[in-house]
Amino acid sequence: MAKSDAVWALDIGQCSLKALRCTPDERSDRLIADAFDYIEYPKILSQPGAEPAELIAEALQQFLSRNTLKGDMVALGVPGQTGLARFIKLPPVESKKIPAIVYYEAKQQIPFDLADVVWDYQRMGGGSEEEGFTLETEIGLFAMKREQVFRILEPLTEVGIEVDLVQLAPLALYNFMVFDQMPDLGSPDEYDPENPPPSVVVLSMGTDATDLIVTNGYRVWQRSIPIGGNHFTKALTKELRLTFAKAEHLKRNVSAAEDPKALFQAMRPVFHDFLTEVQRSLTFFSNLNRKAQIARVVALGNAFKLPGLRKYLSQGLGYEVQRIEAFRGLAGPQVLHAPAFKENMESFGVCYGLAVQALQKGLVSTNLLPKEIIQDRLIREKKPWATATAAVLMLASTLSFVSWTRALGTVREIDWQEAHRRAREVKQFADKWQSEINGLLSQFQSTDQIGQNLVGNVERRIVWTELLYAINQCLPQDMSIQSGQPRPADPADRHEIYIENIEAQRVERLEDWFAAVRPWYLPPGGAVLPGGVAAPAGGAPGAAGAAGMPGPGAVVPGAAVPSAAGATMPSPATPQAAAPGAVSPSPTDAASAQGAGETPAPEGPSGPGWIVRLTGYHFHNYETPEKAKGRPMGRVYLYQTLIENLRNKTIELPAFSAHEGQTPGQKEKVTMKELGVEYPVLVEPKPYQKVEVLDPKAALEEMLNPKASVPSAKPEESPSPEAGANPAGKESSVKKKTIVLWKYPFTVEFVWRPTPPSKRAEEKKKAEQARTSQEQPTAAPPAAKPM
């Protein structure tokens, strides 16, 4: 049954049952109290000879006879000493992770198995949140043993009262104080932990214990003091040798006693013990919250009617202990002006706080009602609807069955026998042909697989030939040779790159290889390569140019290339020993050749594939800016020739096998990407090496005129046969002429995913079909016929 906006708040104490019915008001800061009840037990529940279960049951029956709870919510307050309260300050953490952290803290803070307790938590006010992270957050963790909750709910269940909210009395008093006694409290965003607002101490004395609550409106701290009104009664019983009932009567009527001084003298130890416990609690609170300032103390509970108690506490604490004269946020003359309510108003603080929370106006909203009770009620509420739905479905099924049964009764089975026979014959005929089709299809697939294996073996050999052919086509070609002109005399002017070694290794994770070479990878369009490199006068290639151009080649720490089985290729991390006089490059060269500015990190390849490594060198380098004349050299020359070609060049391959739309012998234009070549990387750029080689001009002259290389021998100085062909101290030829060149060694690696010709033809066919389908115009809808 749906609940109304009204709530009955119940506080079943040791001395009496208090109940208050409230409804929301048009004003958000006020509630309407339209009913209350105050039922005092014949005996105090902790009094010797009392039967608590019977006394509570009688009080509840009396309450139900006076009031109706139909359709109203019911909130129940339980004593603070029956539960556990912990307050935890969290470090800066993401908001979405708070539940997981609280669950971990609950396992640490609650001294019982979480399955044996009912617990809930509340994020206290005053914290802040920035970009999804909470700062200065305090969490309140509250729990009760499960069996204790059911024991408290048992008397209400027996009389038919369903409780919707279970809350600890100290937290109910906190909601009451913030709602009723702190009207000027700002929003949680205004809370400053370094300068908190003044705090208020609430002392709510019950029969056996006193709840001490300290709050500044945003944060709350509470402790249960094991001293209550009964302790004063027991002191009178012990000192004056009175019965419990007589001592309780004298305590409530001290002014009418024959010797009030004797009564106060008997209760003085309890006064002192209570003051000591309060002082000790406030000292502990001050040590925890050194910036807190206590402004006032508020007394609640009928036990504070004892003459002299508030004055004694005021003198001992140094703060005035005040009474609540009226409820600011509560309206309803028929309740507020009732004599019974006015006489016991100080004991209705818990009921008031429970009503504030139940009507969703409190700062604390935790509920210690067991989840299984809530689930059982939901199932019970849905059960009538589920039963009605099942009945409707059953009725619909019955009607459908009856209608189809009547229709079936009109059919004569003999009229359909011939049709059934013909249908079976057709099905058998179709099954026979389907079986033959499946057999032929299986034979075709076997034959096709044999053909694929034969073609595949051929194509696996072809792809390696194509790769080597493509690498050769990507090397720079000297145009002077193609045009019939003689080669340049200076090797630095020749467009030639020499490949010394080609290695290939298959790996299962290309991403591991790319992670190792990422520092040297230059993404397409990620940098503008300089057109040439000039070294300072008298310097060597590799130093910064006069125009600020980077020198090619820098030694950068490298890593081994991973393989599929965990083995590695020999890493080119250690550069070859430079020739004497070799000059190391500038430290800024690596960043300069990769291009100015930052570029987004490339994603790189993934999955299995081949890593191909090219090891070689070139002499396209110059010693001075005047000789370079702006021409590229070093690794810049590699980027503009070999690496650029590996990335973007289109080559012509012979058609090794005939495919659809292709005749044997014709040329096939293939890009390097279509061939499966991607991600070329100049790995660990190395420094230049100064080498001394034979002068090609001198070698040519020696070849054309061999006599010029041997000095003419005088007849008298002809060597004797005994002396040998080369006597000591004599040279048989002139010293050969040499020149100095700057050699740039390199290692280039790239990814290769073999793409056989058949696969390339299939992909081109799919691309052509997709392009054709996009270019076809959409058929226009037929024109409407004229009327």
Neighbour tally for 741: CB within 10 Å: 18
Q: At 35, is the secondary structure helix, strand, or coil?
A: strand
Does residue 786 surpass a pLDDT of 70?
no
Residue 614 corresponds to which tokens in the numbers above?
């090219």
Nearest Cα residue to 582 out of 739, 695, 691: 691
Decide which of 550 and 396 is more confident. 396
| Cα dihedral across residues 461, 467, 468, 470: positive or negative | positive
Both tokens of residue 760? 């390339």
Which DSSP symbol is given to 668? E
Whether the predicted pLDDT of 727 surpasses 90: no
- pLDDT tens profile 144-162: 999 999 999 999 999 999 9
Q: Which residues pair with 300 in a beta bridge?
A: 204
Residue 26 makes CB contacts below 8 A (sequence gap 6+) with none
Average pLDDT over residues 680-693: 91
pLDDT at 314 over 50: yes
Write down the pLDDT at residue 591.
Answer: 36
Asked if residue 517 has pLDDT above 80, the reply is yes
Q: How far apart are CA 196 and CA 577, in angstroms?
A: 71
Task: List all residues 6 or more positions away from 727 whose beta carbon is below 8 Å from its beta carbon.
Answer: 719
**Cβ of 213: how many Cβ atoms within 10 Å?**
25
Range of lowest pLDDT (389-398, 530-539, 659-668) = 530-539
Mark out the alpha helices in 663-732 (DSSP H runs): 696-704
- CA distance linking residue 205 with residue 673, whole number of Å: 85
Q: Which has more confidence, 497 or 248?
A: 497
Contacts of 645 (CB under 8 A, 6+ apart): 473, 474, 475, 476, 672
Side-by-side strand order, sheet with 210-215: 220-225, 210-215, 199-205, 294-300, 321-323
Bridge partners (DSSP) of residue 122 are 140
Spatial contact of 463 and 754, defined as CB atoms under 8 Å apart: yes
Helical segments of 547-639, H only: 589-593, 625-628, 634-638
Residue 578 has pLDDT above 80, yes or no: no
| Least-confidence region, from 74-88, 343-357, 696-710 | 696-710
**Helix, strand, or coil here: 528?**
coil
Location of structure tokens 């009226």: 326
pTM of the predicted protein model: 0.52
Beta strands 93-94 and 609-618 are unpaired
In the predicted model, what is the mean pLDDT of residues 754-781?
78
Tokens coding 42: 């014949």
Q: Which helix (H) or strand (E) holds 562?
A: none
pLDDT at position 705 is 67
What amino acid is encoded at 200 in this protein?
A: V
**What is the average pLDDT score of the chain?**
80
Residue 110 vs residues 84, 87, 120, 660: alpha-carbon distances, Å: 8, 12, 11, 77
Average pLDDT over residues 19-30: 91
Fill in the DSSP letter of residue 185.
-
Q: Are 540 and 691 in contact (CB under 8 A)?
A: no
Task: Specify the pLDDT at position 175.
Answer: 93
CA distance 590 to 428: 77
Average pLDDT over residues 275-291: 91
Amino acid at 429: F
Q: Are 642 and 497 in contact (CB under 8 A)?
A: yes
Say what percent of the chain tops pLDDT 90. Answer: 37
- CA pair distance 516, 747, nearest whole angstrom: 14
What pLDDT is attached to residue 700?
65
More confidently predicted of 706 and 407: 407
- The conformation of residue 720, written as its DSSP 8-state character, comes to P
Tell me the angle at which helices 52-66 and 146-158 cross, rounded to the nearest 10 degrees. 50
User: How far apart, in whole angstroms, are the C-alpha atoms of residue 320 and residue 295?
Assistant: 9
The Cα–Cα gap between 638 and 748 comes to 9
The residue whose two tokens read 């504030």 is: 356
Helix (H, G, I), strand (E, B) or coil at 137: strand
Confidence (pLDDT) at 724: 41
Listed range (2-6, 210-214, 247-251, 616-620) with the worst mean pLDDT: 2-6
Residues in the chain: 787
Distance CA 772, CA 59 (A): 89
